[in-house]
């Protein structure tokens, strides 16, 4: 219940009054009446009962057992033949479903801090592959300063680079300034470029939010012959109606057109995405490192007629897959006490648990200096198979001994190693061509349920939009009891284990080595 409420905390959610948490229209509950009913049900729920939530609405409570999940959630799922935005929106308008995104509808969103390490690791890996390990003196162009995209400027400056982030909504830029994710705001391109040039020439990290539209600014940069070192984008392109602002419209004009003529709005959005992608393709031709940042911008441009849209890669095959092979992904935890000291205590305990892990040490130190808490204090760090279970048991022990003041909630993004099928993102260009096989997220939800996670969710359409992905989430509470220790040990082994077996099955050597080294049982290996 606290995590549901935390998702909608005004410091955490992008539009809490509309129940929208992040990612365009990703909601925590279907309606305020449904929210109230979920809260009532959770308050009354017995320790051997399970609440069922269907796309943000509580629909039943069954007697299960103490080790079973307390909540099971299914969001936005449609029979594949009907899995498209038109049908989804028709059903949504009838009040029958909601868009759950990934962690919005599964109550483990923790604000931009939840993504910032993934974004940091992505830029760090890109820096290693292309620029000798640092973004110092490099000009990184991106767009979208929303819930997830807002992590980009900070992730770039943490890698010592200079970030220009194009965003048409001044309130979003202001929010990133207020939370110190972004350093400066510029209202004209000339002003922004002056700042970029100066910071690059001095090798000074700097991030600038430029008030503007990517579908106008990116092509304008090409016209001027200004080619950044690296280019990406995190507008909510996956949702052409609610997530993307077409070129030529102010925020007010966009809102008016969206309400008056949604079809015309979608047409303009899709055409703008073609211009946006064409500029990125041209920058790539002229030497920039260009990648898609998991918002289906390429898929949308392809659907709108740009045949070359997929000529630049997605970030997962380019930078993240080797981590997925070892079950590594965005592990996160939250202090239910609300006391930041509890997170600092977990930080310290974790560093003592993995003293040899230098990158963990660097990350936790940076995070403590640079990342402001939003809502309940939380931390994120990428841990893999054989690490997450140890961390979970450690936190349970801290709760049991009273070293932290209240239970710790442990979860992860659905963007994880073995929990998602998404051919334009997490499972793009799999070695064996299994990109669209969606059995894996289903098995993930089933094994987490069988292992005793506290809540388990199964979604469709997160990240890249309806029709393009299936994914599962799990959250488990460390309440300090021996029973919780048993559950933690099972769930936090089996959940990342799914990532290992999924990549073994696809033939990745890194995953095979990991499975053999760590003794993951795989019948046909």
Q: How many residues does the chain have?
A: 525
**CB of 64: closest distance to ligand NAD in angstroms?**
31
Contact by Cβ (8 Å): 99, 461: yes
Which span (19-27, 375-383, 439-447, 450-458) binds ligand NAD, by CB under 6 A?
19-27
Question: Does residue 381 carry a catalytic annotation?
Answer: yes
If the CB atoms of residues 115 and 500 are measured against ligand NAD, the closer one turns out to be 115
Scanning 68-76, 144-152, 355-363, 436-444 for contacts with ligand NAD by CB under 6 A, the matching segment is: 144-152
Give, as one character, the DSSP assignment of residue 460: E
* One of 50, 234, 374, 422 touching ligand NAD (CB under 6 A): 234
The answer to whether residue 12 forms part of the interface with ligand NAD (CB under 6 A) is no
Buried b vs exposed e over 240-256: b needs ≥16 C-beta within 10 Å?
bbbbbbbbebeeeebee
Tell me: does residue 473 bind ligand NAD (CB under 6 A).
Answer: no
Residue 314 DSSP code: B
Report which of 387, 420, 194 is spatially closest to residue 316, judged by C-alpha positions.
420
- Based on CB atoms, which residue is closest to ligand NAD, 69 or 147? 147
In the complex, minimum distance from the CB of residue 227 to ligand NAD, in angstroms, rounded to a whole number = 19
Distance CA(512)–CA(491), nearest Å, equals 21
Query: Who contacts 44 (Cβ-Cβ below 8 Å, separation ≥6)?
Result: none
Q: Judged by CB under 6 A, which of 4, 115, 163, 500 binds ligand NAD?
A: 115
Q: What does the alpha-carbon distance between residue 362 and residue 267 come to, in Å, rounded to a whole number?
A: 45
Q: Which stretch binds ligand NAD (CB under 6 A): 200-208, 259-267, 292-300, 429-437?
A: 292-300
In the complex, least distance from residue 360 CB atom to ligand NAD, rounded to whole angstroms: 20
Residue 370 CB, shortest distance to ligand NAD, in Å, is 18
- 111, 118, 392, 473: which one contacts ligand NAD (CB under 6 A)? 118
List 163, 200, 381, 514, catalytic entry:
381
Six token digits for residue 171: 């309130």
Tell me the residue number closest to ligand NAD, measured at CB: 146
Report the C-alpha gap between 106 and 243 in whole angstroms: 20
Is position 265 annotated in a ligand binding site? Answer: no
Helix (H) or strand (E) holding 167: strand 162-167
Sign of the four-CA dihedral 79, 81, 83, 85: negative
Is there a contact between 238 and 300 (Cβ–Cβ < 8 Å)? yes
- Interface stretch with ligand NAD, choices 3-11, 70-78, 147-155, 480-488 (CB under 6 A): 147-155
Under the binding rule (CB under 6 A), the answer on residue 323 touching ligand NAD is: no
Select from 235-243, 282-290, 483-491, 498-506 the region that touches ligand NAD (CB under 6 A): 235-243
Helix, strand, coil % over all residues of the chain, rounded to 5: 45, 15, 40
* 61 labeled part of a ligand binding site: no
Question: Rounded to whole angstroms, how far apart are CA atoms 274 and 456?
Answer: 37
Residue 100 interacting with ligand NAD (CB under 6 A): no
Among 243, 314, 386, 423, binds ligand NAD (CB under 6 A): 243
Shortest separation between residue 279's beta carbon and ligand NAD, angstroms:
12
Residue 213 or 417: the one with the smaller Cβ distance to ligand NAD is 213
* For ligand NAD, the closer CB: 14 or 326: 14
For residue 121 the two structure tokens come to: 């690791």
Among 327, 463, 480, 496, the residue binding ligand NAD under the rule CB under 6 A is 463
Contacts of ligand NAD in 371-430 (CB under 6 A) = 415
**Residue 214, marked binder:** yes
Does residue 167 have a known ligand-binding role? yes
CB 418 within 8 A of CB 327: yes
Cβ-Cβ contacts under 8 Å for 511 (sequence gap 6 or more)? 325, 326, 500, 501, 502, 503, 504
Footprint on residues 505-524 left by ligand NAD (CB under 6 A) = none
Minimum CB separation from ligand NAD for residue 168, in Å? 5
332 makes contact with ligand NAD (CB under 6 A): no
Whether 463 has a binding-site annotation, put simply, is yes
Binding mask 205-224 for ligand NAD (x = CB under 6 A): --------xxx---------
Query: What secondary structure does DSSP assign to 239-297, as a single string?
Result: -TTTT-PPTT--HHHHHHHHHH-HHHHHHHHHHHHHHHHHHHHHHHHTT-EE-B-SS-H
299 contributes a contact to ligand NAD by CB under 6 A? no
In the block, which residue shows the tokens 């006490």? 337
5 known ligand binder:
no
Residues in region 169-198 near ligand NAD by CB under 6 A: 169, 172
Cα separation of 14 and 38, whole Å? 21
DSSP code per residue over 41-61: HHHH--TTEEEEEETTEEEEE
Exactly one of 4, 71, 145, 156 binds ligand NAD (CB under 6 A); that residue is 145
* CA–CA separation, 120 and 446 (whole Å): 31
Tell me whether residue 100 is annotated as binding.
no
CB of 79 to ligand NAD, least distance (A): 23
Distance, CA of 210 to CA of 143 (rounded, Å): 9
520 touches 385 (CB < 8 A): yes
Q: How far is the CB of 173 from ligand NAD (least distance, A)?
A: 9
24 annotated as ligand-binding? yes
Is residue 113 part of the contact set for ligand NAD (CB under 6 A)? no
Looking at the annotation, which residues are catalytic? 381
What residue ranges bind ligand NAD (CB under 6 A)?
A: 14, 22-24, 115, 118, 143-149, 166-169, 172, 213-215, 234-238, 243-245, 293-295, 415, 463
Binding site membership for NAD(+): which residues? Answer: 23-24, 101, 147-149, 167, 172, 213-214, 234-238, 244-245, 293, 463
């Amino acid at each position: 219940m606290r995590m549901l409420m935390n998702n909608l905390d005004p410091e955490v959610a992008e539009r809490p009054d509309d129940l929208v948490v992040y990612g365009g229209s990703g909601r925590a509950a279907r309606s305020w009446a449904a929210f109230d009913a979920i809260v009532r049900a959770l308050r009354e729920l017995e320790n051997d009962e399970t609440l069922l939530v269907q796309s943000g609405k509580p629909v039943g409570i069954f007697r299960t057992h103490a080790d079973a999940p307390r909540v099971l959630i299914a969001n936005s799922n449609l029979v594949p033949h009907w899995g498209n935005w038109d049908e989804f929106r028709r059903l949504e308008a009838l009040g029958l479903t909601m868009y759950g995104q990934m962690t919005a509808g599964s109550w483990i969103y923790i604000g931009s801090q939840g993504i910032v390490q993934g974004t940091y690791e992505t830029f760090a890996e890109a820096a290693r592959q292309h620029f000798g390990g640092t973004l110092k003196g490099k000009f990184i162009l991106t767009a979208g300063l929303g819930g997830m995209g807002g992590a980009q400027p900070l992730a770039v400056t943490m890698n010592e680079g200079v970030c220009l982030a194009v965003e048409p909504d001044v309130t979003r830029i202001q929010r990133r300034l207020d939370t110190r994710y972004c350093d400066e705001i510029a209202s004209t391109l000339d002003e922004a470029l002056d700042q970029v040039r100066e910071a690059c020439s001095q090798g000074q990290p700097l991030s600038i939010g430029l008030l503007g539209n990517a579908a106008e600014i990116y092509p304008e940069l090409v016209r001027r012959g200004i080619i950044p070192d690296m280019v990406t984008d995190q507008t909510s392109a996956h949702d052409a109606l609610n997530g993307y602002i077409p070129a030529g419209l102010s925020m007010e004009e966009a809102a008016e057109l969206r309400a008056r003529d949604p079809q015309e709005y979608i047409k303009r959005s899709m055409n703008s995405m073609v211009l946006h992608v064409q500029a990125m393709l041209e920058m790539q031709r002229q030497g920039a490192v260009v990648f898609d940042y998991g918002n289906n911008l390429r898929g949308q441009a392809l659907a709108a007629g740009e045949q070359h849209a997929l000529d630049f890669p997605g970030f997962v095959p380019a930078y993240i897959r080797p981590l997925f092979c070892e079950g590594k992904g965005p592990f996160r935890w939250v202090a239910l006490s609300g006391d930041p000291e509890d997170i600092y205590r977990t930080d310290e305990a974790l560093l003592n648990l993995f003293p040899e892990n230098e990158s963990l040490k660097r990350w936790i130190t940076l995070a403590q200096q640079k990342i402001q808490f939003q809502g309940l204090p939380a931390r994120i760090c990428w841990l893999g198979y054989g690490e997450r279970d140890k961390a979970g048991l450690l936190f349970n022990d801290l709760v049991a001994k009273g070293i932290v003041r209240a239970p710790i909630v442990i979860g992860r993004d659905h963007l994880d190693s073995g929990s998602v099928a998404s051919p334009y993102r997490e499972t793009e260009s799999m070695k064996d061509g299994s990109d669209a096989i969606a059995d894996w997220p289903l098995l993930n939800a089933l094994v987490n349920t069988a292992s005793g996670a506290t809540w388990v969710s199964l979604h469709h359409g997160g990240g890249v939009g309806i029709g393009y992905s299936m994914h599962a989430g799990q959250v488990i509470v460390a309440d300090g009891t021996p029973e919780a220790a048993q559950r933690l040990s099972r769930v936090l082994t089996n959940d990342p284990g799914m990532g290992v077996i999924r990549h073994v099955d696809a033939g990745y050597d890194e995953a095979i080595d990991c499975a053999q080294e760590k003794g993951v049982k795989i019948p046909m290996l």
